[in-house]
Chains A and B, each alone.
Chain A
Amino acid sequence: MIESDQLVLGGVKFSSRLFIGTGKYPQKQMLPDIIKASGTEMVTVALRRVDLTSPNENILDYIDKSCTLLPNTSGARDATEAVRIARLARAAGMGNFIKIEVISDQKYLLPDNLESIKATEILAKEGFIVLPYMNPDLMDAKRFENAGAAAIMPLGAPIGTNKGLRTKEMIEILIRESKVPIIVDAGIGTPSQAVEAMEMGADAVLVNTAIASSENPILMAKAFGLAVKSGRLAFLAGRGDISTFASPSSPLTGFLNS
């Protein structure tokens, strides 16, 4: 069961359920070690940061070819811009996966579900494997599904805050109700929070800031890799119920037996 436990997105199989970001590291040179330590097989890159004309090193040079690239539309402020960025990414040889990020709020960096749904619909029709970043809302999750999203990426907390699963209740609802995989993106600040997300049944998590802003990003990458595995195993094993009440020696309904 464990060996065959793979996440399938757009026909591609992933053994690791940890996706990582690339934008905040002290050095691009660190990426190969981060990727190795974390065990990740899916790495997201902002097209706005990619420069194929550069005489200096390019961020893509540091991503192992065995990893799947997940270009993202960071910088897009509406559906039209997200669609254009996705097409540019594909034209630049970055593959068919695309993470939709439509953000028109620079203060909290919260996603715009409405515009992202529009972009998802257009791009899915063009053959992209679309993974939209979203604010966890059930109706919108359904709209993303109908628009052709290959997975849905709800936020745990605003990007970069490391606050953990503040939207836990909402994400649990999405996990229960969604037909497509749920990947918790943004807000996960510690490995224990990644465990929590995986235990409750998330299909994967995406982590960037928590690894990149750690004092030892490589070690932290490893910690997250283990946490995600551990959380997944716990989910597969079936977590025992956590009782909120003590078991009283004189049950309130004991009189029925007397």
Chain B
Amino acid sequence: MSFYELVKSYNGGNFFNQNNSNLGIDKILKKEYLSDLDFWKLLQPEAENYLEEMAQKAYKITRHHFGKAIQIFSPLYISNYCENGCLYCGYRCDSGIKRKKLSENEIISNSKEIYKTGVRNILLLTGEAPIKTPLSYTIEAIKSIKNMFPMIGIEIHALTEEEYKEIHEVGVNYVTIYQETYHEDFYQKYHTKGPKKDYHFRLDAPERAAKVKMVGLNIGVLAGLAPLEKDIFFLGLHGHYLQKKYPDIEISFSLPRLRPTEGGFVYHQEIIDKKYLQMLLALKIWLPRAGVTLSTRESDSFRNNILPLGITKISAGVKTSVGGYSDDENNLINSKTSTENTEQFEISDIRSVKEISDYLKSHGFQPVFKDWEPL
């Protein structure tokens, strides 16, 4: 059964109509492995009363499985050309922002800036623009930096299995792709134009990447787009489905919260810290071995507080503008003024690699700059 079919069977069946009156959260928290219903129960408002117990459990399992090590990676936006009209995104096709794609030299110089910090884990990002930036453009970019980075991730549009195979062969070992929301109706509402409108094709993308034996998959939702409990439930289920079917792949989750973008988009729900934390903890307890990436969209103080509760990866030195590390045209490095027209979203935490690294150390965590050896 494909994951698309699995989602359909949950939505079409009685699973979500079960009587939740006798929750027994305390009993669920004593179990080592949860059933799908246990997981669903941890996402309900009734479980809010057990937030501290959930946090204790998430803390413990994270320490056991990941110790006190946290991976650092640096994202690099190489192009913001995009044909999709995702209402929540600052890069959407009709947003009127300044478009830019980096030349090979710019990609190399930006990557060198990241390399100098010691980070060996890079995430390349693009918008989806088959004419301006076909896959061959991304492939050339990967080839030009592969000698610097043992860990190369991509966060680009959904690819076919053949395409995933192709980028894996040139050096990509990690794939990040968010479903954004698992609610198909909300998905259609937000994805108004472009190839990304195809919910089903995107939903099965992580599995296509798994089939070509990527090292890791990072899947996620944009918290706030649609009713969150179900989004997190299906995200967890997606991770579980992939882990079971492709046991050699490292699964990790991201659940960035929506931030205001230039378009002033109004989204479904503002997610308060307490609710967000509950979702994060439930996910961690559901899949203890899965990693969790903390995004730059969270504020300094919130990042600090949730760090020990399941976080295993953190981005640093981030500029979400295209080529934000060294802007050749303006000869400005990391300057907000030179790049303000091309940012995808507002960043709350823009600490440098050194700042994040020092911060992790001072809080008893070991920053890990490299965690893969390409073969």
Chain A contact residues, CB within 8 Å of chain B:
23-28, 47-51, 54-56, 75, 77, 81, 84-85, 88, 103-109, 160-162, 208-209, 212-213
- Measured in the bound complex, the distance between the Cα atoms of B370 and A103 in whole Å is 19
Residues of chain A within 8 A of B366, CB atoms compared: 25-28
Q: Are B118 and A47 in contact (CB under 8 A)?
A: no
Residues of chain B within 8 A of A23, CB atoms compared: 67, 69
Q: Are B247 and A107 in contact (CB under 8 A)?
A: yes
Q: Are B370 and A106 in contact (CB under 8 A)?
A: no
B120 close to A (CB within 8 Å): yes
Shortest C-beta distance, A109 to chain B (Å), equals: 7
The listed residue (B68, B150, B248, B251) touching A24 by CB distance below 8 A is B68
Task: Determine the main DSSP class of A at the interface with B.
Answer: loop
Shortest C-beta distance, A157 to chain B (Å), equals: 11
- Measured in the bound complex, the distance between the Cα atoms of B82 and A109 in whole Å is 40
Residues of chain A within 8 A of B289, CB atoms compared: 106-109
- Measured in the bound complex, the distance between the Cα atoms of B365 and A109 in whole Å is 23
- Measured in the bound complex, the distance between the Cα atoms of B373 and A51 in whole Å is 9
- Measured in the bound complex, the distance between the Cα atoms of B117 and A78 in whole Å is 32
Would you give 14 A-B contacts (Cβ < 8 Å), ordered by A?
Answer: A24-B63, A25-B67, A26-B68, A48-B150, A54-B370, A75-B373, A88-B375, A103-B248, A104-B248, A106-B248, A162-B64, A208-B67, A212-B68, A213-B63
- Measured in the bound complex, the distance between the Cα atoms of B150 and A190 in whole Å is 36
For the side of the interface on B, what is the size category? Answer: 20 to 34
Q: Are A213 and B373 in contact (CB under 8 A)?
A: no
Q: Are A24 and B69 in contact (CB under 8 A)?
A: yes
Residues of chain B within 8 A of A85, CB atoms compared: 373, 375
Residues of chain B within 8 A of A84, CB atoms compared: 375
Task: Name the residue on B nearest A56 (C-beta).
Answer: B118
Known A107-B243, A213-B64; contact A26-B375, beta-carbon cutoff 8 A = no
- Measured in the bound complex, the distance between the Cα atoms of B65 and A151 in whole Å is 26
B300 close to A (CB within 8 Å): no
Q: Are B116 and A77 in contact (CB under 8 A)?
A: no
